[in-house]
Amino acid sequence: MNKKVLITSAIERLNDNILALQSELEKAVDAATNEETIPDGKYDTLALEASYLVHGQTVRLGEMRSDVTTLESLPLRMFSNDEAVALSAIVEVIDEHDNHKTYFLVPCAGGLTVMNDETLITLVTPYSPMGKALLTRHCDEDFSLEIGGKVCQYDIVSIS
């Protein structure tokens, strides 16, 4: 798999999300500053709630822009099946139900998914439960992970 293509796809997804969030942020700013949201009394908190929304969306927008910068500068290295999983590794696992899943270990933007040919690849960070479980493991190594109160078994099939 071409990691550069995967990173480019992830950045495109993030940029799409940034554009959508910017549009929503503009609406939230309008709601927070609109004359109709001026409080009628101490229990009318519409403007205050809108300002909290503006703050949260502004913070998230900054995080997403930072994610783009981080991914653009991420050093990509190739791994062999003899090496331990580390940042920028693509790891294919199989669960106890013979479901194949592919993960791309990156420093940010966890949860994004990108397609490579017919393979859905999920970006995970070293801070996520799956990322922590994969980090430093080797090919053919089994591990278990509790997800939603259920313990799932995985086997690492390949590392690249």
Is-contact 136 86, C-beta < 8 A?
yes
Quick one: tokens of 32?
């927070």
Q: Spell out, as residue ranges, where the chain has pLDDT lower than 50.
A: none
- What is the span of the domain harbouring residue 46? 3-72
With 0-12 / 13-18 / 19 or more C-beta atoms within 10 angstroms meaning exposed / middle / buried, residue 93 is buried
Final residue before a domain boundary, out of 72, 101, 118: 72
Is-contact 113 121, C-beta < 8 A?
yes
Q: What is the domain-level CATH number for residue 135?
A: 3.10.50.30
Residue 78 within a domain: no
Residue 77 within a domain: no
The pLDDT score that the predictor gives to residue 55 is: 94
User: Is there a single domain that holds both residue 97 and residue 65?
Assistant: no
Residue 45 within a domain: yes
Taking the C-alpha atoms of residue 74 and residue 119, their distance in angstroms, rounded to an integer, is 22
The pLDDT score that the predictor gives to residue 45 is: 79
Final residue before a domain boundary, out of 72, 100, 127: 72
CB atoms within 10 A of CB 42: 6
The pLDDT score that the predictor gives to residue 47 is: 77
Final residue before a domain boundary, out of 45, 72, 99: 72
Predicted model pTM: 0.88
The pLDDT score that the predictor gives to residue 49 is: 86
User: Is there a single domain that holds both residue 107 and residue 149?
Assistant: yes
Report CA torsion sign: 51, 52, 58, 64: negative
Give the C-alpha distances (Å, rounded to integers) separating 25 from 21, 44, 46, 68, 85: 6, 22, 16, 19, 38
User: Is there a single domain that holds both residue 66 and residue 123?
Assistant: no
The pLDDT score that the predictor gives to residue 157 is: 98
User: Is there a single domain that holds both residue 7 and residue 68?
Assistant: yes
